[in-house]
Amino acid sequence: MSDRSSDRTWSLGRTHPRGRPSRPPGRIAEPWGRRTPYGAGEQWPERVDSFLAGGLAAAEVDQWFPTASNLHSNGDAMELAVRDGRLVGVRGVAEDRVNRGRLDVKDLYGWQAIASPDRLTRPLLREDGVLREAGWDTAMARITDRARALLDGPGPASIGFYTSGQLFLEEYYALALIARAGLGTKHLDGNTRLCTATAAEALKESFGCDGQPGSYSDIDHADTIALFGHNMAETQGVLWSRVLDRVAGPDPPVLLCVDPRPGPVSEAATIHLQPRPGTNLALMNGLLHEVIAQGWTDPDYIEAHVTGFDRLERQVAAFPAEAAAEATGIPAEQIRSAARLLGQAGRLLSTVLQGFYQSHQATAAAVQVNNLHLIRGMLGKPGCGVLQMNGQPTAQNTRECGADGDLPGFRNWANARHIEELAKIWRVTPDRIPHDGPPTHLMEMIRLAEEGSLRMLWVSGTNPAVSLPELERIRAVLGQDRLFLVVQDLFPTETTALADVVLPAAGWGEKTGTFTNADRTVHLSLKAVDPPGEARPDLDVFLDFARRMDLRDTAGRPLVPWREPEEVFEAWKECSRGRPCDYSGLTYALLREHGGIQWPCTVEHPRGTERLYTRGDFRSRPSDCESYGRDLLTGTPLDEAAYRALNPDGKAVLRTAPYVPPPEQPDADYPLWLTTGRTLFHFHTRTRTGRVPELQAAAPDMWIEVSEADASAAGVREGDLAEVSTRRGAVRARARITGIREGVLFLPFHYGYWDTGTADGHRRAANELTPTDWDPASKQPLFKTGAARLRLIEHRPGPPPPAGPVTPRDTA
């Protein structure tokens, strides 16, 4: 089979004004690099990628420091090159299991952002409405004074923390201890709520506990790879290289792509299903109907390891391919072909990401992918894995350390024994850890701030004024006088602009810690250079806060006794011992010597564990599980009795839900679907990639992706300035006509305002348009569905600015 993705001229050239593309530099033009084909069961060949600034030679580098990529969740092992105390480049680590030396295009160039001249270097305090520089002592005193006053007054429920998927494990664990047992608030969540809350919930619902069953090495063995709402080519570039290398080798796997948009993934796929946004559950029910009806199941595996088959069979009975076709807009024949591909696969690997996670029945749809693997007995064997993907580099750690709406070590808030265990580890009484209901999710925290019962919000490592839905509302909530807003970041952002206190953080490369990728691989990241000015590691800031607040354990000793990241890591190992995410066999020294290691890593498994559930041994016993689950349709938590009734005693559970259409659908006023997402060259709100010349030049400004038919209906031509509006707001950008499904518009969500001025005047951020709504089970917001309209603002000559690999209308 030919390698269709590496040698095609993708359409950056197409958008160039004068016919022939002018080739952009290096890997911008060749995002996945050169192919290194390999066959099923073989080891993925090495290919070491490197980029050194200013044509420097490797011999001119003073020292190399180990780390892993921090602009996605792939966990590609890399080294930072330092010369004269400055970062000068990067190279991949050939020996590492994750990337075998390869680096994604964003990682090759992205490190340059940390040396950007506009880094935050001193704390800022708001005085008379204006942010002014101050010393750390003054800034921390301002924070602790406010925290104490609130604790003495309305109490801990008036304080909340909103953190990240981009700090380090040690930072999350310290923060979880401070917030939960120190202050006693349950208002602590991560931006993982927007990102992988559904991955976590889907794993809990099916297997009783979070924890990625599969491994990236499943790509080496699979004969069929299905990508459900996952644009892997643009969002996990090195993983995609691995797929492309299998596709280019002998006995290549076949690919299934489920995405309303065409792109590099659909171009490499045998079957491309283009559902209407928000109809994933209908599609999955249709696929499962067909798999069951054709007898493509594994009755022995089901009998031994799975419960709830009858329920699933009943649920999908009403969804033959015709019914699924009606709901999704995909022809029934295509649904049948896809079901055959999935049903007859010998070794099936599935990946799931935001096309499924950011919609109204996110958990219910993601769980059906688990169900597919369970009824086919395709789990825990080489080539048979589910990757309920993560997005951010350290999202896994936010979840396992309990810095989101979970408790550390995947403990169950509703299980009194788990609370006692945690209290013992933290040397406090169980009542110090709030557990009278599920921990507060972010969208609820925003509502509490809006109402005025949340009075202090400490934001670290996230930019909610661009990344949350319905920005007009978010700006109003975060900008209120009565909310004391602390924001800790590397750069001035749309969110720091609203803060009362801004704390300058040291970032990746400037601090030491560990983090874990989407397939449970832990890497050590060493400090390579000093942070600028007075910027400090987030860990130091949190520990300083704990000391100043004089947080104590039951015996009166300091509750948070640590000073160095390695001490926190050692403490975390104890907290994780015996839990699914067991780190007890890891040390900094081992990670340094060996590179990436997959948890659980214990005395029995000193080099980690490649796949979970290899013997169908799920962590679902009521005494052990992380969650008793939720009703997938309403989100209501199940109690222990309801959970026991599902009979999950060590078995996986087939959870189901009926399909309901998305809450907001196109109508006469707003006739189009709007969906949003990512593109190759930028990371999120561009605070880093927007400061990197190579990446910013490759995709400098916002655009609107629209089909030929929808564009011409609105009188819009390629490159024209157009407006997309929804019931929440309007944005303007130039149109790019692509092979996107008719009736659907796509906007990248990367473009906010830090580099163009304020949000006043013409707005461009995609989240001006998105609704305040979330999946009832995972509480993940709906960034992928909504009703919109398109209108021409003015004709503009020439094409829109470049954007990366957009599939043109003529090849879709």
Query: 166 contacts which partner out of ligand MGD, Mo ion, none, CB within 5 to 8 A by kind?
Result: ligand MGD
Query: 749 contacts which partner out of ligand MGD, Mo ion, none, CB within 5 to 8 A by kind?
Result: ligand MGD
Is position 229 an interface residue for Mo ion (rule: CB under 5 A)?
A: no
Q: Would you say 582 or 723 has its CB closer to ligand MGD? A: 723
Q: Measured between alpha carbons, how far is residue 24 from residues 110, 596, 739, 796 in Å?
A: 16, 33, 24, 24
d(CA 521, CA 175): 22
Is position 391 an interface residue for Mo ion (rule: CB under 5 A)?
A: yes
Residue number of the CB closest to ligand MGD reads: 391
Q: What residues numbered 676-705 form the site for ligand MGD, per CB under 6 A? A: 676-678, 680, 682-685, 687
Total chain residues near Mo ion (CB under 5 A): 2
Q: What element of type H or E holds 171?
A: helix 169-176
Shortest distance (Å) from residue 780 CB to Mo ion: 10
Q: Would you say 133 or 640 has its CB closer to ligand MGD? A: 133
What would the x/- binding string for Mo ion be over residues 286 to 325, using CB under 5 A?
Answer: ----------------------------------------
22: number of Cβ within 10 Å: 10
DSSP at 51: E
Q: Would you say 224 or 467 has its CB closer to ligand MGD? A: 467
d(CA 458, CA 487): 6
According to CB under 6 A, which one of 99, 675, 726, 738 is a site residue for ligand MGD?
675
Is position 212 an interface residue for ligand MGD (rule: CB under 6 A)?
A: no
Is position 195 an interface residue for Mo ion (rule: CB under 5 A)?
A: yes
User: Could you tell me the two tokens for 343?
Assistant: 């049903």
Query: 400 contacts which partner out of Mo ion, ligand MGD, none, CB within 5 to 8 A by kind?
Result: none
According to CB under 6 A, which one of 103, 131, 255, 353 is a site residue for ligand MGD?
353
Q: What residues numbered 433-472 form the site for ligand MGD, per CB under 6 A? A: 460-464, 467
Is position 163 an interface residue for ligand MGD (rule: CB under 6 A)?
A: no
Total chain residues near ligand MGD (CB under 6 A): 62
Shortest distance (Å) from residue 386 CB to ligand MGD: 15
Is position 72 an interface residue for ligand MGD (rule: CB under 6 A)?
A: yes
Shortest distance (Å) from residue 321 CB to ligand MGD: 17
Question: Cα angle at 392 between 389 and 393, to 5 degrees?
Answer: 105
Q: Which amino acid is at 156?
A: P
Task: Report the 3 state secondary structure along 191-234.
Answer: HHHHCCHHHHHHHHHHHCCCCCCCCCCHHHHCCEEEEECCCHHH
Of 187-195, 278-286, 305-313, 373-381, which segment contacts Mo ion by CB under 5 A?
Answer: 187-195
Cβ within 8 Å of residue 153, ≥6 positions away: none
Is position 505 an interface residue for ligand MGD (rule: CB under 6 A)?
A: yes
Q: How far apart are the two ends of the chain, measured CA to CA in Å?
A: 20
d(CA 97, CA 218): 12
According to CB under 6 A, which one of 6, 198, 266, 359 is a site residue for ligand MGD?
359
Is position 538 an interface residue for ligand MGD (rule: CB under 6 A)?
A: yes
Cβ within 8 Å of residue 572, ≥6 positions away: 169, 170, 173, 401, 408, 583
Of 134-142, 306-314, 483-491, 579-587, which segment contacts ligand MGD by CB under 6 A?
Answer: 483-491
Of 41-49, 386-394, 465-473, 803-811, which segment contacts Mo ion by CB under 5 A?
Answer: 386-394
Place of tokens 């995909």: 330
Is position 739 an interface residue for ligand MGD (rule: CB under 6 A)?
A: no
Reference 657, options 361, 239, 307; nearest CA is 361
The three-state secondary structure class of 605 is: coil
d(CA 673, CA 675): 7
Shortest distance (Å) from residue 685 CB to ligand MGD: 3
Is position 486 an interface residue for ligand MGD (rule: CB under 6 A)?
A: no
Query: 347 contacts which partner out of Mo ion, ligand MGD, none, CB within 5 to 8 A by kind?
Result: none
Q: Would you say 400 or 538 has its CB closer to ligand MGD? A: 538
The strand pairing partners of 537, in sequence order, are 506
Q: For residue 537, which phi and psi values (nearest 5 degrees)?
A: -60, 145
Place of tokens 């890497």: 523
Shortest distance (Å) from residue 175 CB to Mo ion: 19
Beta strand 188-190 pairing with 159-163: parallel
Is position 542 an interface residue for ligand MGD (rule: CB under 6 A)?
A: no
DSSP at 407: B
Q: Measured between alpha carbons, how far is residue 280 from residues 5, 58, 526, 729 in Å?
A: 26, 48, 41, 26
Q: Which amino acid is at 77?
A: A
According to CB under 6 A, which one of 89, 156, 253, 260 is a site residue for ligand MGD?
260
d(CA 588, CA 592): 6
The strand pairing partners of 505, in sequence order, are 536
d(CA 381, CA 613): 9
User: Could you tell me the two tokens for 487?
Assistant: 């924001």
Q: Would you say 67 or 676 has its CB closer to ligand MGD? A: 676
According to CB under 6 A, which one of 6, 69, 488, 696 is a site residue for ligand MGD?
488
Residue ranges that bind ligand MGD, judged by CB under 6 A: 72, 106, 164-167, 191, 194-195, 229-231, 234-235, 258-261, 275, 277-278, 280, 353-356, 358-359, 391-392, 460-464, 467, 488-491, 493, 505, 507-508, 538, 675-678, 680, 682-685, 687, 746, 749, 766-767, 770, 783-784
Residue ranges that bind Mo ion, judged by CB under 5 A: 195, 391
